[in-house]
């Protein structure tokens, strides 16, 4: 596995509304929970197979995001985590490589360079 998509640590703070992942390459990704919930990769949230991959990274920069909590987090195999949200939703499998790609740092508003 690639060091940039290999997690070395993961921390959830419902109080601070963030999920933090440390990666083997030394990078740390901080996800606001609201944005992560918005970007749930499940078929239902992505609007069906036709639009899979159509994420909304702008949700990470919402000015007054609604609070959402993580109730449970489980590792799925060695490639993903499954999050159970405070609203009961839990069908999203967040793959490590998707999470690394979703890193809010890669999607700052006004930064059009991919
Ligand atoms: Zn979903």
For residue 47, what pLDDT is reported? 79
Name residues with Cβ closer than 5 Å to ligand 1, which is an ion. Answer: 40, 42, 45, 92
Inter-CA distances, 46 with 10, 42, 61, 92, 97, Å: 24, 6, 19, 10, 17
Cα separation of 46 and 53, whole Å? 7
> Could you tell me how far CA 37 lies from the centroid of its own chain?
7
Q: 110 pLDDT band (50/70/90 cuts)? A: confident
For each of the domains in the chain, give its residue range(s) and CATH number, in order of start. 3-107 (3.30.2020.30)
Give mean pLDDT, residues 49-76. Answer: 88
**Quick check: 35 pLDDT over 60?**
yes
Give mean pLDDT, residues 3-9. Answer: 97
Give mean pLDDT, residues 8-36. Answer: 98
For residue 84, what pLDDT is reported? 98
For residue 93, what pLDDT is reported? 96
Looking at per-residue pLDDT, the higher value among 53 and 91 belongs to: 91
Which tokens belong to 104?
A: 């809010």
For residue 43, what pLDDT is reported? 87
DSSP state of 45: T
Which tokens belong to 17?
A: 């509304």
Q: How far is the CA of 92 from the centre of ligand 1 (A)?
A: 5
Write out the H or E segment, with its range, that includes residue 37. helix 33-38
Count the residues in the chain: 114
Q: How far is the CA of 37 from the centre of ligand 1 (A)?
A: 8
Contact 86, 99 (CB under 8 A): no
Q: How far is the CA of 11 from the centre of ligand 1 (A)?
A: 21
């Amino acid at each position: 596995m690639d060091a940039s998509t290999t997690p070395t640590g993961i921390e959830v703070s419902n109080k601070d509304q963030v999920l933090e992942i440390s990666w083997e390459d030394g990078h740390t990704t901080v996800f606001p929970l609201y944005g992560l919930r918005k970007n749930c990769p499940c078929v239902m949230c992505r609007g069906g197979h036709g639009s899979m991959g159509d994420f909304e990274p702008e949700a990470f920069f919402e000015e007054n995001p609604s609070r959402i909590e993580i109730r449970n987090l489980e590792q799925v195999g060695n490639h993903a985590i499954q999050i159970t949200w405070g609203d009961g939703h839990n069908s999203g499998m967040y793959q490590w490589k998707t999470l690394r790609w979703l890193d809010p740092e890669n999607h700052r508003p006004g930064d059009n360079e991919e």
